[in-house]
Amino acid sequence: MLRKFAMVTTLAAAVLSSISGNTVKAEVLVPLQQYLNTTNRNYEANQYKTSYIIYVPQLELNGTTITMNPKAVGEPVKLPITKRDGAEYVDVENATPLIGVTYTKDRDHVQLTAAPETMQVLQNKPVQGPLSWAFDPWPNQDTPYAKKLNVSGDNIISPSWFKLHSLGLESSPNINVDYVKAYKANGYHVWPLITNRFDPDFTSGILADEAVWKKYAQNLIQYAYIYGFDGYNFDFENVDYSDRDKLTRFVAYLADELHKYNIQSSVDVTGYSNSPNWSLVYDRKSFANSVDYVVLMAYDQTWAKSTTAGPVASYPWVRDHAEKMLQEVPSHKLVLGIPFYTRIWHESGGVARGETLAIKNESSYFTNHASNIIWNDTLKSYYAAIPTTSGIDKIWFEDNKSLGYKLNLVKELQLAGFAAWRKGFEDDNTITMIQGVDLGKGTPNTAPVVEAPKPVVEKPLTKAERKALEKAAKEKAKAEAKAAKEKAKAEAKAAKEKAKAEAKAAKERTKANAKTVNEKQKVDNDIASIGLAVQVVKK
């Protein structure tokens, strides 16, 4: 049920205050019901009154002053509710006046009043590299990192909390302010991930509707100011190539609107390939001119649906794509994506089927199949070929040693940092290893990493392995040729539609010109007739 309260409460609420580190303000918690009785925001509750949505007015910016326009239709924001010992509170210190209340404090008591409709732009400080970053697609499943991934620069966590929707921004029901506070207390910046659902048809629709762009920007700003986000990550994938220019403008628009409110942004891009929807659609150079960081997803060298086995992120492939991208993206803006996973390839009859293998689940293979594992110094990874009853299982491992080579590229190429996909796939040894890597500002931690014993035999590739890689290369070339054909087809279709539109416009112009000529001729005839009639009258 939608309700609105414009009253001012004079009740004093008990305040629960605590200091949670340098990056978190003291909490000022008021009981949920007292907030609801005071706020001047429209709100509605779910059936069980366990979650509330408030409607925040549109924001208008004049210099550094934000004005909330109560006459405009508001955007929905999930109310940030903090739970303490089974009771529900709203933190009025960290949420800003956008939630519709302000307060005065007298010792341990708080007096609430309805918030004013103006506030100042927050003075968020930009993050400093080299960045240590992790993506968290299931933030409600694991506990937050207790320590920073690396102290060379700032740390970022990106929970998957937002999706684009045809009517506006769609937030996850799992968005949680206590998650944000926990990470901030541990020295992290929280930059939620926003996805386009990887749906090209849907994305075409929203890219063509610039009116909804403003709703996205407004709601992202509102969420940032209410929950304490100081950045976002745009994960827009599988976009129709014909929408390339629109995607570029869309990303630039969002980044520009967020920058006005001191909110940073980043965008994810794949490595280079001839795939129209997955690679060619990205104008990486233009992205770098708009956002603060471009994240190179340097994994899935061999795609999950491939029928030929291959590595997820071999060192030569990662390095090659990073170096190529530096020709379009400045090094201080390029973040190197690394995988916390690999794949087991179940091969039978010459056809492979991939299955994701998290780093934390790899140790049993080194224990049980040591004789089948070798180190490939070219690819900088361990490789396993394990016979099975139906064929053979092949694994190109991603482990501390393999990841270490890739992380060293951050310092060598002077990149902006690294970003790992994904939290929950790693183990404690992986985190310890990362904490000891010199990303460019000195080694923060030299504690030894304890790993399970691994074979150290260095052998050249066997004939069968070379054959498999050659087959993978041929399949990749075939796929790229197919992608190039699709690109040409898409370009031809676009050109045809453009020519058709131009022809239609030309036809309409010709028709309009002919109509103008006919009308002019008619006017001339009428004038001639009048002149003749005047002469007759004079006679």
Q: Indicate whether 416 belongs to any domain.
A: yes
pTM of the model: 0.82
Residue 95 and residue 233 in one domain: no
**Residue 492: pLDDT over 90:** no
**Residue 450: pLDDT over 90:** no
Please, which pLDDT band fits residue 526 given cuts at 50, 70 and 90?
Answer: low
The domain of 60 spans: 29-120
Confidence (pLDDT) at 12: 42
* DSSP per-residue string spanning 86-106: TEEEEETTTS-GGGSEEEEEE
Residue 519 and residue 371 in one domain: no
Residue 375 and residue 523 in one domain: no
Residue 173 and residue 254 in one domain: yes
187 within 8 A of 157, measured Cβ to Cβ: no
Q: Indicate whether 442 belongs to any domain.
A: no
Which helix (H) or strand (E) covers residue 533, if one does? helix 463-538
Residue 379 and residue 510 in one domain: no
Residue 69 and residue 138 in one domain: no
Neighbours of 16 (CB within 10 A): 19
Residue 41 and residue 149 in one domain: no
Please, which pLDDT band fits residue 35 given cuts at 50, 70 and 90?
Answer: very high
Provide mean pLDDT across the span 260-268.
98
Q: Indicate whether 10 belongs to any domain.
A: no
Q: How far apart are CA 519 and CA 297, in angstroms?
A: 63
Question: Tens digits of per-residue pLDDT, 404-446?
Answer: 999 999 999 999 999 999 999 999 999 999 999 999 975 454 4
**Residue 5: pLDDT over 50:** no
Provide mean pLDDT across the span 132-146.
96
Question: Tens digits of per-residue pLDDT, 205-263?
Answer: 999 999 999 999 999 999 999 999 999 999 999 999 999 999 999 999 999 999 999 99
Q: How far apart are CA 454 and CA 370, in angstroms?
A: 7
Q: Indicate whether 490 belongs to any domain.
A: no
Confidence (pLDDT) at 489: 81
Q: How far apart are CA 303 and CA 271, in angstroms?
A: 12
Q: Indicate whether 7 belongs to any domain.
A: no
Q: Indicate whether 49 belongs to any domain.
A: yes
Residue 328 and residue 213 in one domain: yes
Pick the last residue of a domain from 68, 87, 120: 120
Residue 334 and residue 219 in one domain: yes
Provide mean pLDDT across the span 279-300.
98
Pick the last residue of a domain from 120, 144, 173: 120
Q: Indicate whether 243 belongs to any domain.
A: yes
Provide mean pLDDT across the span 146-168.
97
Q: Tell me whether strands 193-195 and 231-235 are parallel, antiparallel or unpaired.
A: parallel
Closest of 215, 160, 148 to residue 193, by C-alpha: 160
Residue 298 and residue 389 in one domain: yes
Please, which pLDDT band fits residue 530 given cuts at 50, 70 and 90?
Answer: low
Computed on alpha carbons and rounded to an integer, the radius of gyration of the chain in Å comes to 30
- The strand ranges marked E within 27-167 are 29-31, 42-45, 52-56, 58-62, 65-69, 75-78, 82-84, 87-91, 101-106, 109-114, 118-120, 131-136, 155-165
Residue 296 and residue 407 in one domain: yes
Which stretch, 139-143, 499-503, 532-536, has highest mean pLDDT? 139-143
